[in-house]
Amino acid sequence: ARLARAHGAEPGQALRQVVHDLRGPLTYLVGYAELLAGQPQPPEVVQQMAQEMLRAAEQLTTLLDALAHRPPR
């Protein structure tokens, strides 16, 4: 939804919104990867982290798909 609103915004603001929307899922991915790389975790924690990482990756894919299918101006 934010991405759709960003398409109607001025170019600088639209870019800031897209960067913001991409940064959230990336933060999850980096944070969980650092935790997993740092020390052993119980299997149930690893599974939960993997699910969160998949959700973040799906969010990124959705955002990138929306950008790629943006109609030309």
User: What pLDDT, on a 0 to 100 scale, did the predictor assign at position 38?
Assistant: 93
Mean pLDDT, rounded, for 26-53:
94
Report d(CA 29, CA 58) in Å as an integer. 11
% pLDDT > 90, the chain: 58
Q: Is the pLDDT of residue 11 over 60?
A: yes
3, 18 in Cβ contact below 8 A? yes
Dump pLDDT digits (tens) for 44-55.
999 999 999 999
Residue 32: exposure state from Cβ atoms within 10 A (0-12, 13-18, ≥19): buried
User: What pLDDT, on a 0 to 100 scale, did the predictor assign at position 15?
Assistant: 85
Tokens found for residue 46: 């690893």
Tokens found for residue 69: 């299918």
Q: Is the pLDDT of residue 18 over 80?
A: yes
